[in-house]
């Protein structure tokens, strides 16, 4: 297949969601955002909580390509996810999404008391860090000790259920929903925004110190704040953390998943995500791709009424549908998760060591295709929202793909140092940028595309690179070299260059399109 502008236009015209019914309501006592329909959107006031394992990439590196060590890591991640769910349930906090080993939750109760929500969010953060350091790491002594960091931001966000493959996939839109992840610190820290800090009781405030300004927001951070270290604080807040109880739960969950029942197999065909479980995992050489919608969050935050929210949700569905289709239909990629306004997937076809260069070219083409649809097609349908663009990051390496959790609530787990690296490349990138690792750049064989990437530190960046732009560059180069040609095909004039005519004489000047 490959990206084709007219095909993209036809798809977006068909799937512009202009008549898609959207029901926006405030989240209330009688509503549960876990049971949202695909047309329902809930406006929620609350504290977004992100709990992450900052050194998880190091644990993945420890496992390397050793299957037994990978089994131990899968089991460890599976148990952590399960216990996190129980910790959230005990504190009556909503579980939004798991992004690999990162937890995203929302404390939206009580509905009319932000001070209590802030207090509850920080109490959960202390409990989570206490559990990881004082219980979990002792039970899982056969893997590297996990670090734990929590970030919390408060405000208004919109919760929607976009659905995928029949499974619920909650997303949250709004700056506070992203800010909680942005403020995450190093291990054994809790980082909160000023809004959260201001709502805390003095007994908690005194444990936080003024920290960095992130995304124009002042933050406060506490390090080493655990119930075991500050028992008097737990007493004052009425918190009882039963370490032995949680140790027993963790051991029971570990023993329920014997290493002998965790299967890891290499793949030579496109992975079927629906067949994956924590007992059935796939390993392959892959290129993780993160593509983030730069600029979309600001419009969500500035939405002043329900009509504006409805318009944004429709546009989000339109963008998501097109990007997903480019990834999986135009190219043989595999979308693993939509993380708010970011898409995450991998390219692992064609398989085989001898196909490495083709695989890298395929992943790079996916990125250019995503940028092409965004810049040349989708932006025409975004009305006055002309500064919404993509930032893409890509790396290469051995990748393990699994799904953890119960049926209908499973989360994709994609392990590999290259996964973390690809995310970092995307986070370093600005709007309309594609950033690839040096390894990926070295494998590219199409010089026209390769030359568009310029070294930037230890990676390579292409700015405003789309297939139509690449067409223009090829034609300009051919004109300068005197090798520009044209032919009539299906009553249309097709521009060709010497480089393409040698392989596809007088037919298709776009090598990213198959015949």
Rounded percentage of the chain residues whose pLDDT exceeds 90: 63
Give me the mean pLDDT over the 275-280 stretch.
93
Mean pLDDT score of the chain: 89
Residue 112: which pLDDT band, with cuts at 50, 70 and 90?
confident
All domains of the chain in start order, with CATH: 5-17+263-465 (3.30.70.1230), 32-260 (3.30.70.1230), 468-515 (no CATH)
Average pLDDT over residues 461-478: 90
pLDDT, residue 119, reads 98
Higher pLDDT, 444 or 298: 444
> Given a cut of 80, is residue 134 above it in pLDDT?
yes
Q: What is the pLDDT of residues 57-81, one digit of tens each?
A: 889 889 988 999 999 999 999 999 9
Q: What is the pLDDT of residues 308-349, one digit of tens each?
A: 888 888 888 899 999 999 999 999 999 998 887 889 999 999
Taking only the tens place, the pLDDT of each residue in 481-504 is 766 666 555 555 555 655 544 333
- In 424-513, where do the E strands start and end? 433-437, 454-456, 459-463, 485-489, 492-496
pLDDT attached to residue 175? 86
Lowest-pLDDT range of 88-97, 289-298, 379-388, 424-433:
379-388
Buried b (16+ CB within 10 A) or exposed e, 272-310: ebeebbbeebbbbbbbbbbbbbbbbbebbbebeeeeebb
- CA torsion sign for 457, 459, 460, 464 is negative
Per residue, the 3-state secondary structure of 211-235, as one string, reads EEEECCEEEEEEECCCCCCCHHHHH
> Could you tell me the pLDDT band of residue 297, with boundaries at 50, 70 and 90?
confident
Segment 9-50, tens digit of pLDDT: 999 999 888 888 889 998 887 777 777 887 888 989 999 999
CB of 180 within 8 A of CB of 297? Answer: no
Confidence band of 104 (pLDDT split at 50, 70, 90): very high
pLDDT at 502: 38
Q: What is the pLDDT of residue 307?
A: 85
Distance of alpha carbon 431 from alpha carbon 168, whole angstroms: 29
Residue 371, phi then psi, degrees to nearest 5:
-65, -40
Q: Which pLDDT tens digit goes with each residue over 159-192? A: 887 754 445 577 888 889 889 999 999 999 999 9
- Work out the average pLDDT over 414-419: 87
Helix, coil or strand: residue 376: helix
CB-neighbour burial class of residue 244 (10 A; exposed 0-12, middle 13-18, buried 19+): exposed
pLDDT band at 468 (very low <50, low <70, confident <90, very high): very high
The pLDDT of residue 271: 95
pLDDT for 508 equals 41
Cα(403)–Cα(337) distance, integer angstroms: 11
């Amino acid at each position: 297949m490959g990206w084709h502008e007219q095909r993209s236009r036809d798809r977006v015209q068909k799937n512009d969601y202009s008549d898609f019914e959207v029901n926006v309501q405030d989240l209330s006592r009688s509503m549960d955002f876990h049971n949202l329909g695909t047309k329902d959107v809930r406006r929620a006031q609350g504290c977004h909580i992100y709990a992450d394992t900052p050194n998880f990439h190091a644990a993945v590196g420890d496992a390397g390509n050793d299957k037994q060590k990978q089994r131990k890591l899968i089991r460890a991640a599976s148990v952590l996810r399960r216990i996190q769910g129980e910790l959230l349930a005990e504190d009556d906090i909503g579980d939004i999404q798991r992004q690999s080993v990162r937890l995203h939750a929302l404390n939206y109760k009580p509905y009319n008391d932000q001070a209590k929500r802030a207090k509850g969010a920080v109490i959960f953060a202390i409990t989570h860090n206490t559990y990881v350091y004082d219980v979990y790491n002792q039970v899982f002594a056969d893997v590297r000790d996990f670090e734990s960091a929590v970030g919390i931001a408060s405000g208004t966000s919109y919760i929607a259920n976009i659905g995928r493959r029949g499974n619920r996939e909650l997303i949250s839109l709004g700056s506070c929903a992203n800010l909680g992840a942005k403020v995450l610190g190093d291990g054994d820290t809790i980082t909160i925004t000023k809004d959260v800090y201001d709502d805390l009781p003095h007994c908690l405030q005194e444990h936080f110190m003024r920290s960095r300004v992130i995304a124009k927001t002042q933050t406060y951070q506490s390090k080493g704040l655990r119930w075991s270290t500050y028992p008097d604080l737990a007493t004052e807040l009425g918190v009882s953390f039963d370490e032995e109880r949680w140790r027993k739960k963790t051991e029971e969950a570990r023993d329920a998943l014997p290493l002998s029942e965790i299967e890891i197999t290499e793949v030579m065909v496109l992975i079927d995500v629906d067949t994956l479980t924590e007992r059935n995992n796939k390993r392959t050489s892959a290129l993780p791709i993160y593509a983030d919608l730069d600029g979309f969050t600001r419009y969500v935050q500035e939405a002043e009424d329900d009509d504006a929210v409805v318009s944004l949700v429709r546009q989000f569905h339109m963008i998501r549908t097109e990007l997903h289709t480019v990834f999986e239909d135009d190219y043989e990629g595999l979308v693993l998760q939509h993380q708010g306004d970011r898409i995450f997937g991998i390219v692992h076809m064609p398989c085989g060591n001898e196909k490495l260069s083709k695989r890298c070219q395929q992943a790079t083409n996916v990125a250019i295709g995503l940028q092409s649809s965004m810049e040349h097609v989708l932006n025409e349908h975004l009305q006055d929202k002309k500064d919404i663009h993509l930032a893409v990051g890509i790396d290469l390496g051995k990748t393990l793909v699994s799904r953890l959790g119960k049926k209908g609530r499973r989360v994709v787990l994609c392990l590999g140092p290259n996964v973390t690296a690809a995310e970092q490349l995307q986070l370093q990138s600005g709007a309309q940028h594609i950033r690839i690792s040096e390894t990926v750049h070295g494998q590219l064989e199409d010089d026209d595309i390769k030359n568009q990437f310029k070294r930037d530190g230890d990676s390579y960046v292409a700015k405003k690179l789309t297939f139509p732009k690449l067409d223009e560059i090829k034609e300009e180069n051919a004109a300068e070299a005197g090798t520009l040609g044209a032919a009539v095909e299906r009553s249309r004039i097709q521009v060709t260059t010497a480089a393409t005519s040698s392989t596809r004489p007088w037919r298709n000047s776009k090598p990213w399109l198959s015949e």
